[in-house]
Amino acid sequence: MASPDSSTSRLQRAVPASLFLVIALAAFYFMDLLSLIADFPPPSATGFIEAPSHDIKHPILERFHWIPFLDEVFRNITVGFAPSSFGYDDVSRWQMVNFLNEFGVIYMILLLESSRKGNEGTIVYYPMVTALLSQLGGGGLVIPIYFALFLVYCRPIQYQTATELRVSLSDAWLYLLLVLVLYTIPLYAMYFAPLLEDRHYWTWFWQLFPVRISMAYWTFQAIGKVIKPPTVFYLGYITSLTLVLGTFITMSSMQWLELLFDAPYSFYDIFFPAPNAVDTWGNRLKRILQLDQASIDLSVLIWLGFLFWDMKKAKILQTWEVYGFLVTSILLVVALGPGAGFGVTWLLRESWINWNNEEEEDDVVKKTN
């Protein structure tokens, strides 16, 4: 049998992983970001965020990071969030609040995956790169490529030890703090701050969340090597992961339920990327963001399916159990929203892996005795 790190083994895994490349190419074609750039002037060209029908004319910050290159790159991206964050496109607002809360769950999963010892040295170990490229080029294009590389370069579960499969709990708790402070709080401020000036500021602040989270993480890691933090309490492995990821699952599901019961628009209007009756920059952007979310959600669902199938190949699950998990995931997505559904499904898989490892350890102890 070929080594899981051999070219032959990776090539075999690349065949099913190519499905993600198809999704990425479809996202690139249908999102068509290049046409948006070519067909319309830069949204920041006037120096103002303007919505005459809502009596909005707000100046765009010229400097935020005090690094000209960064300010130039993110100025137009920041203005792209104005229709939803300022509220003059209410349909887009409902979609984006849901989408970005959902992405908080997905990004937390990527961070937790990066903390597995078995994923060191792969693209999975660098979630900042994935998230930053998603901001610049669209998550609908980048996230499927990430999952393709995940399947190709991360060793299948049967070739990893229990230690390599284990998520670092110290990292998980640290990421909980950092994502709350540097992703979630700025996100809510950019959509719900009472003043447009504050929303605009927090939109700028939120943009570089992958870099800020990464820098803060490595800073805390460096401090922790010098000053050992005391162990105040200990929670079990699955309990800890449930509390960490469950924080973001709860927020995402609450936004979904609010949308489900309070949104004055149909699901079709909010999420379906229908052709625009009037081709404006705002309408084109709204459709791109809807496609962005659809591509990411489809990719995450298929990725989870591959992970469960991997467990079947490792003889941890039977075929009917794999399909049962996938049906459960789809039902959770419908009931609680994509972010919460994906998060709960990931936790179920993690619980099953942990239970299987504990069973194997018990068997080893019994044989030894």
**Domain map of the chain by residue range?**
11-368
Residue pLDDT tens, the chain, 369 long:
567 777 778 899 999 999 999 999 999 999 999 999 999 998 888 999 998 888 999 999 988 988 888 898 899 999 999 999 999 999 999 999 999 999 999 999 999 999 999 999 899 999 999 999 999 999 999 999 999 999 999 999 989 999 999 999 999 999 999 999 999 999 999 999 999 999 999 999 999 999 999 999 999 999 988 887 766 567 899 999 999 999 999 999 999 999 999 999 999 999 999 887 678 898 999 999 999 999 999 999 999 999 999 999 989 999 999 999 889 999 999 999 999 999 999 999 999 999 887 755 544 444 544
Contacts of 56 by beta carbon, 8 Å cutoff, 6+ apart: 49, 50, 86, 88, 196
DSSP letters of 118-164? GGTTSGGG-HHHHHHHHHHH-HHHHHHHHHHHHHHHSPPGGGS-HHH
CB contact at 8 A, 123 and 143: no
